[in-house]
Amino acid sequence: MSRAKPPAYEELPQEIPVDEEKVPGYNSKYSYPANPGDILENRYQLDVKVGWGSSSTVWLAHDIRRRGWLRPRRYVALKICNCDTPEEDMTHELDLNIQLSSAAHDHRGRGVLATAIEGYKVESPRGDLHLVLVFEPLREPLWLLRRRITHQDCTTHESLPFIKAHIRILLEGLDYMHSQGHVIHTDLKLDNIMVAFEDHATIDGFLQGQTRHPMARKHVGDRVVYRCHNDFGPIHKGLGKMISQITDFGLAQPGSRAEPLIHPIQPNEFRAPEVLLGIGWSYSADMWNFGAMKIWELLAADMIALIGDIPPSIIERERQMRHWRWSPPAVNPDGKLCDNVAEFYGCPFLAQDGGFECSLATTATDMVD
């Protein structure tokens, strides 16, 4: 009797970068060489690569300790960090996850934060240590769900209550993060707002599809690079169970620090005024960030028409803090090493009379483009 051939996978061209290979400065020796079927910590078996970032990959896995007909398979998402991540940064992310998960459990916003269930380190075949964070698996970004339920990506009368409900849920999560966890996210963007799975069967069906159509990949020497596969298919039912989740606290900062927070944060298109002006930022930067996710396509002039002129107190703070310097310096988008906000963003944006310098209009146009 001949054995059935394993399902064929697509072999990708070696010369075309795949996923994490596109990250500037990527070096394969720092990435954990994960493969489907690998078992980490004698507990979690890797199934499919579902995400990647500048310093990690994310894999859907299942808990091999949960076996038996009467015990449904338990799925998790494993964030496997690169080994060149500084120890201080790894400890920082893990500590903030613990801080957020251990605050007031009776707050309604607690369940809106996708914090790590646990964290540990694994050793690669090269002997390098990699931090692994374990999360509940999430389905897809909120922007993709919105696209599914709206008409041509425009909110309709029928979808408006659903969108408003998710905004309220996210505000509850931000309130918990700020008032109970005392953490500033600093990196709120549409890709970091995910939604939960509608039911367990969605993951089961997704993995069954993987047995027929495995991840595309390419072989480079003794390593394999897999193309991320995270399309879990259409939603058939259970839309009300798909609760929004705030994810990725890798760049989050404790809000209780005594010294002013002035270093650059946030995606370009969502950056708060106090960050751009270098006057010190706090929890309010997240709130601007959250609101800007809905109106970032508006130009600066339109924003002023909506919310009014810059308050005199902000203008005064900007002038008082022009002498502050960052330690350590930061590299701006042009590759220049900068130790102050003026160099990093091309400030000052404010003229002596409190109006805008021309450089702000240029920056705003660049941000919209």
Annotated binding site: 79
Indicate the angle between helix axes 160-175 and 283-295, nearest 10 degrees.
Answer: 170
Any bridge partners for residue 133, and if so which?
A: 79, 119
Q: Residues forming the annotated binding site for ATP?
A: 79
CA 263 to chain centre: 19
The closest of 113, 32, 118, 110 to 77, measured between CA atoms, is 118
Pairing mode, strands 193-195 and 244-246 = antiparallel
Q: Which helix (H) or strand (E) holds 274?
A: helix 273-276
**Residue in this structure with the two tokens 């879990």, named with its chain if needed:** 232
Query: What's the CA gap between 188 and 272, in Å, rounded?
Result: 11
Query: What's the CA gap between 36 and 50, in Å, rounded?
Result: 12
Q: Is 132 exposed, middle or buried (0-12, 13-18, 19+ CB in 10 A)?
A: buried
Spatial contact of 215 and 48, defined as CB atoms under 8 Å apart: yes
Spatial contact of 243 and 278, defined as CB atoms under 8 Å apart: no
The closest of 189, 232, 186 to 208, measured between CA atoms, is 232
Query: What's the CA gap between 250 and 231, in Å, rounded?
Result: 24
Joined together, the tokens standing for residue 162 give 């659903």
